Structure 1
Amino acid sequence: MNPISNPGAFTELDRFMFESWGYLIIPNVLSEEEVSECLEASIRLHESAGTSGWAQVGKGYETEVSLERLIDHPAILPKVRALYGDRFILQSAWCTKQPAFGGMGGWHQDGSGAYDFQKLGYPIPLVQLRASFLLTDQSVPRTGNMELIPGSHRSQVRLPDSIRAARESVPIGHVICAPAGSVLLFHNAVWHRTFAHDGDYDRFTMHYIYSPPWVRCSDRFENNQEFLQRTTPTRRYLMGEFSRPDAPFGASYPTEFENE
């Protein structure tokens, strides 16, 4: 069983699957040529950063046009908009490398180290929606796949610490198998981990994380002004460069109180 969706519009079935499982798998988003361009860009990013082992590099869209195009990809953005409405930002974008013969990752939920999202309420709200573009083939297990626990974003209990510490398997773990060019779209509260990678090549995935407009960005302290000047209006908006749509504090008070 797989929660398979089609590129583009967020259908009623998409919504049901996403609410039930916490994620969608979207095949055939990128062409072979686009995958090749994005993979080459990802390799350049990591070589420039001098990374080794498991690593991630942020803000690749600032220098790599092929990665910039994915920010508002028409196969993905309608689904993000359907889940968030019209006001959301690109909170961060990370190019992740799992090295050849990489081991199993640890179980976790996405969130902030400064403030655990579970403190916000139950169920944990959608604060980070991740779109992961697979840039190397993951159509069989043990190729650096993502493993998720379906429906765990709705669980009232956390994954046992003993399971997390030992990085053990769980009976309902779902190893995502999909070819390069596919996208995995998932809720921050779904328990997940990186699966083992037996290949003799590095595995690359490009992650775009969308959030409500009040969430602090995590791949940058401020936006690159040169990037903002050359990119599109939609992408500038997604970088958080827009006027506040809500009234500033105190705007509804009578004018005689404005200076007090």
Structure 2
Amino acid sequence: MLDPIVEPGRFTDLDSFIFESWGYFIIPNVLSKDEVAECLAASKRLHAAAGTKGWGQVGRGYETEAALEKLIDHPAVLPKIRGIYGDRFILQSGWNTMQPAHGKMGGWHQDGSSAYNFNKVSSPIPLIQLRASYLLTDQSKPRTGNMEFIPGSHRSMVVLPDTVRKGATEVPIGHVICAPAGSVLLFHNALWHRTYAHDGDYDRFTMHYIYSPPWIRSSDRLQNSQEFLQRTTPLRRALMGEFERPDAPYGANYPNPHVDLQNVED
């Protein structure tokens, strides 16, 4: 199977073509082994504190875990987000997910909001959530809790059949993503995807960061932690949506909130 692998950092014209064509790409070697270990330990602490039983996800871990906070504006990934969105976007949410050992196959779905499904906005569904998923356990072989994507399905005007979504029929064009820990998957909210089975005797962890246009409401928090805002960097505060809006709500004088983005890319 072909793999849409791109280089870390700068968003290139080829990156743009791959993303528009496939709806996702893979950035390898984003985190070192030590960084993976730090993020994995942080993930385990989050789920232990939350009392996760079985599959589960915990939001806002970046507020308390320094290793996860660093990923918000990682220089290997943030230039890709900027290349796709431009300068005006926010971190809508951050979710740390755990798939337990011997976890079952997930259901096919598109990302969005059950409060107002994105397919009501337009068809094909526009980019409203751009997800960067940091793999914190090895997924270099199938059936290790991988993600499975249907390449190009973010552009489909036809809904995935119910028989496939319910697991009664397999889709012949699914791509099981095999990548080592430390890799990042970047994908479009309208891409059909599911969690693949996990045969290992260890829990699988992934840290997801979801970036959106600045007018999208946060989904992992009702408001930002003031303690976190006071101690974090100006760029991360801006990514949390904490910037001045002189016109209500986003008028002609809305400035670029991400004053440090050029430094990140360089």
If the TM-score is normalised by the length of the shorter chain, which range does it land in?
A: over 0.9
Letter in 2 for 1:215: I
Structure 1 equivalent of residue 32 of structure 2: 31
- Read off the aligned partner of 2:186 and give its amino acid letter: L
Q: Deviations over 1:16-63 (max 9, x none)?
A: 000000001000000000000000000000000011100000000000
What is the percent sequence identity of the aligned residues? 75
Q: Secondary structure at the match of 2:166?
A: helix
Structure 1 residue 243: deviation in Å?
A: 1.1
Q: Which amino acid aligns with 2:162?
A: D
Confirm or deny: 8 A CA contact 1:105 1:167 kept in the other structure: no
Q: Does 1:71 align with 2:72?
A: yes
Alpha-carbon distance in 2 for matches of 1:176, 1:51: 25
**In structure 2, do the counterparts of structure 1 residues 99 and 8 end up closer, same or farther at CA, with 3 Å as the change threshold?**
same
After TM superposition, give the deviation of residue 145 of structure 1 in Å: 0.1
Residues 77-109 of structure 1: per-residue CA shift (max 9 Å, x gap): 001011111111000000000000000000000
Kindly tell me: are residues 136 and 243 of structure 1, through their superposed partners in 2, closer, same or farther at Cα, counting changes over 3 Å? Answer: same
CA contact (8 A) 1:106 1:167 kept: no
CA distance in 2: counterparts of 1:112 and 1:54, whole angstroms: 20
> What is the aligned partner in structure 2 of residue 119 from structure 1?
120
Mapped pair 1:235 → 2:259: no
State the structure with more CA Rg: 1
Partner of 1:100: 101
> What is the CA–CA distance in structure 2 between the aligned matches of 1:21 and 1:104, rounded to whole Å?
22
2:221 matched to 1:220? yes
Report which stretch shifted further, 206-215 or 166-175. 166-175
Alignment gaps of 5+ in structure 1 = 253-260
User: Which aligned runs of 4 or more in structure 1 are off by greater than 2 angstroms?
Assistant: 166-169, 245-252
2:63: which partner in 1? 62
Query: What's the secondary structure of 2:96's corresponding residue?
Result: strand
* Alpha-carbon distance in structure 2 between the residues aligned to 1:156 and 1:137: 34
- Offset of residue 200 of structure 1: 0.1
> d(CA) in 1 for partners of 2:76 and 2:20?
19
Whole-Å separation in 2 of the counterparts to 1:160 and 1:214: 32
2:110 paired residue number: 109
Alpha-carbon spacing, 1:251–1:38, altered in 2? closer, same or farther (3 Å):
closer
CA shift in 2, pair 1:99/1:186, >3 Å: same
Query: Bigger shift: 38-47 or 122-131?
Result: 122-131
- Per the TM alignment, residue 123 of structure 1 is displaced from its structure 2 partner at its CA by 2.1
Distance (Å, rounded) in 2 between the aligned partners of 1:27 and 1:99? 24
> 1:249 offset after TM fit, Å?
8.8
CA distance in 2, matches of 1:4, 1:241: 33
1:107–1:167 contact (8 Å) kept in structure 2? no
Task: Label 1:127 to 1:167 Cα distance change in 2 as closer, same or farther (>3 A).
Answer: farther
Which letter does structure 2 place at the counterpart of 1:62? E
Question: Compared with structure 1, are the counterparts of its residues 115 and 167 closer, same or farther at alpha carbon in structure 2 (3 Å cutoff)?
Answer: farther
Q: Give 1:244's aligned residue.
A: 245
Kept in 2, the 8 Å contact 1:92–1:209? The answer is yes
Question: How big is the shift at 1:248?
Answer: 5.4
Distance 2:168 2:31 in 1: 32
Moved more, 230-239 or 119-128: 119-128
- 1:187-233 deviation digits (Å, cap 9, x = unpaired): 00000000000000000000000000010100000000000000000
Please name the residue that 2:207 is paired with: 206
| Change over 3 Å in CA distance of 1:228–1:169 after alignment to 2 | same
- 1:177 pairs with 2:183: no
TM-score (norm 1): 0.94
RMSD, aligned CA? 1.6
- In structure 1, how many angstroms separate the alpha carbons of the residues matched to 2:205 and 2:228? 24
* Cα offsets for 1:227-247 (capped at 9, x unmatched): 000000000000000112645
Distance 1:137 1:225 in 2: 35
Matched, 1:195 2:207: no
